[in-house]
Structure 1
Amino acid sequence: MPGPQPVPVIIDCDTGVDDALALLFAVRHPGLDLRAVTCVAGNTDVDRVVRNTLTVLEQAGAPRIPVGRGAERPLLEPARASGWHGGDGMGDLGLPEPARAPADVDAVSLLRRELLASPRPVTLIPTAPLTNIALLLRTHPEVTGNIERIVFMGGAVGSGNATAVAEFNVWHDPEAAAVLLTADVPITMYGLDVFRQVVVAGEWARRLRASAEPGARLAGRLLGHGPDGPEEAGCLGDAGAVCAVADPAGLTTRPLPVEVCLAPGPARGQTIVDRRTRPGESEVHHGRRGQALVDVALAVDAERYARLFLETVGGR
């Protein structure tokens, strides 16, 4: 008897060390059907993101998956890049130039085309600033009928990383994140609270680096990247969000109201997650604003996802 069909997914990324890990996993997991990849400025400029994405897909031995070039800058903010992943966004590992070329359509057009063409609803996995996704939702709202769920890496219940309270992807384009959170589709927020927990031990990162297989070896090199030099253990980061699509049982979520702070100042880009069990004085006096609920990730089985990644990418 045939098993379940793979889940059709599209990744929107700013490749990026941990975006690269997410791509390697998505290409190789038998339960996922990676239909397209779209690129946006974030970890580095969008042209380098496209280059990095094509290189990773080649190293992974992926089929000719279409790759679309997307937004060069946030909706309102000027262009900027994090610099956290080195000058090229990939840890300055000296990876080869790709032989592949991007698709002949822009990212938003590619998203629309692939979503409407898919025979089954697609799960979108943004692991980057949400500019492309906001443009898609505002320009082509008809696509929501064929979106199964959006699982985005972004936001935080607790502390941030771009600022004390804001996570980078949301902080980079808060208006785009606010558009996403109003989408009429199921949404899962895979934020910093779980992002930081899924770690591959140094022993396994070293084994991957020693592999003769290009994709596994690249995964090991990426896991060993750190802003201050090589590290023993490596955080899966964005790849954890893709693990959550392949194996949802490893993630504990709770439906909660979430909004993004759009005001100037130190709280801009903060995801305000309302975990209260009863309304406060503001709601009593002014009424609730009818916020949609987001499935917020509050806990993760870190060992389970690390093992899943190793088994999928490294053949453990």
Structure 2
Amino acid sequence: MPNDDRPIPVIIDCDTGVDDALALLFAVRHPGLDLRAVTCVAGNTDVDGVVLNTLTVLEQAGAPEVPVARGADRPLIEFSRSARHVHGEDGMGDLGLPAPRRRPADVDAVTLLRREILASPRPVTLIPTAPLTNIALLLRTHPEVTRNIERIVFMGGAVACGNATPVAEFNVWHDPEAAAILLTAGVPITMYGLDVFQRVVVPGTDVRRLRENPEPGTRLAGELLAHRPSAPDITTDPEAGGIGDAGAVCAVVDPGGITTRLLPVEVSLAPGPTRGQTLVDRRPRPGESELHTGTREQALVDVALDVDVERFAKLYLSTVERA
């Protein structure tokens, strides 16, 4: 955590899903974070389902009255494609949670983002854990917000393999144009991609302990982790659960838990099998293409290449068990 002891003002833009819910539970309970707003976008499920799931999680967690706003119901250009096969029909593990009493804000997501960013007495850290449609619309409609954004830490992209396609990660693949706009934001950006996303796993013994906790928010974390499969190559502990998107929020609290390199990144926008791929240039020097054109045009992004798995798993557990 930065040396400044004051909580970091953050806004989460999500498509609540299982692991977005895990991220919200962490953000609400960590004393080093000041969650100023949550904005919702279509992705894991439809946007109205995302709003409902977000309000449900905040209520189960006993969160303060954080404003929640409905955002884009589809990508900038293409149609929406959900991930219910991963997150359940309701987008949140089909846990049958009671309907929330909370209601969303009476403004749209872009309006709420602009209002909360500009009203914050300190620069805000944006944490998108979803397709980047809302963030792209904000940056194009209200570019003045960048003067009060400290950093954008987004869950998306991949250096190596994708999950939506062999090379594209779901959030970027869902709205590649929006991701390309994000990279032009003109503020520091950290990419928390699949390369680290899939690695942070809570052991099965801890998942069982959370599920048995009588406190609703802690128990919900356990139920979500039980639904969330661990990384594909982990077979020794089948009850373990990956924290997924919550790792991006952990990286805001504890940036030393990830290893990053400032690298050129661009998004493939062409139709075909590479659409939505994040092209991360790890070459030590320019190649023939740049030598002939005289420029590297990609945005420079702090790309997460490694993560301290045990450190983040412990951080996550110690936080969500905080009633």
TM-score range, shorter chain: over 0.9
1:205 corresponds, among 190, 194, 207, to 207
**Alignment size in residue pairs:** 314
Match of 2:233 in 1: none
Equivalent-residue separation in structure 1 for 2:158 and 2:68 (angstroms)? 29
Match of 2:56 in 1: 55
TM-fit CA distance, 1:79? 2.1
Cα deviation, 1:110-146, whole Å, max 9, x if unaligned, reads: 0000001000000000000000000000000000000
Equivalent-residue separation in structure 1 for 2:229 and 2:71 (angstroms)? 26
Match of 1:156, SS?
coil
Match of 2:9 in 1: 8
Equivalent-residue separation in structure 1 for 2:136 and 2:160 (angstroms)? 24
4+ residue runs over 6 A deviation: none
Q: Does 1:263 align with 2:231?
A: no
Match of 2:28, SS?
helix
Q: Does 1:313 align with 2:320?
A: yes
Match of 1:250 in 2: 257
Whether the aligned pair in 1 keeps the contact of 2:55 and 2:68 (CA below 8 Å) is: yes
Equivalent-residue separation in structure 2 for 1:82 and 1:175 (angstroms)? 19
TM-fit CA distance, 1:24? 0.2
Matched residue type, 1:80:
R
Over aligned residue pairs, what C-alpha RMSD do you find? 1.6
Match of 1:282 in 2: 289
Match of 2:9, SS?
strand
Query: Scaled by the length of structure 1, what TM-score is found?
Result: 0.97
Equivalent-residue separation in structure 2 for 1:256 and 1:303 (angstroms)? 26
Equivalent-residue separation in structure 2 for 1:227 and 1:63 (angstroms)? 30
Equivalent-residue separation in structure 1 for 2:79 and 2:298 (angstroms)? 29
Cα deviation, 1:147-188, whole Å, max 9, x if unaligned, reads: 000000000000000000000000000000000011110000
TM-fit CA distance, 1:3? 6.9
Q: Does 1:195 align with 2:200?
A: no
Equivalent-residue separation in structure 2 for 1:7 and 1:69 (angstroms)? 24
Equivalent-residue separation in structure 2 for 1:35 and 1:52 (angstroms)? 18
Match of 2:95 in 1: 93
Cα deviation, 1:213-262, whole Å, max 9, x if unaligned, reads: 0000000000000479xx50000000000000011110110000000000
Whether the aligned pair in 2 keeps the contact of 1:86 and 1:227 (CA below 8 Å) is: no
Match of 2:262, SS?
strand
Whether the aligned pair in 2 keeps the contact of 1:60 and 1:215 (CA below 8 Å) is: yes
TM-fit CA distance, 1:291? 2.6
Query: Scaled by the length of structure 2, what TM-score is found?
Result: 0.95
Equivalent-residue separation in structure 2 for 1:225 and 1:254 (angstroms)? 32
Equivalent-residue separation in structure 2 for 1:212 and 1:3 (angstroms)? 34
Matched residue type, 2:168:
A
Matched residue type, 1:251:
I
Whether the aligned pair in 1 keeps the contact of 2:18 and 2:228 (CA below 8 Å) is: no
Match of 1:36, SS?
strand
TM-fit CA distance, 1:284? 1.1
Match of 2:87, SS?
coil
Unaligned runs of 5+ in 2: 231-237
Whether the aligned pair in 1 keeps the contact of 2:218 and 2:321 (CA below 8 Å) is: yes
Match of 2:234 in 1: none
Equivalent-residue separation in structure 2 for 1:315 and 1:66 (angstroms)? 22
Question: What does residue range 119-268 of structure 1 map to in structure 2 within 5 Å?
Answer: 119-226=121-228, 232-268=239-275
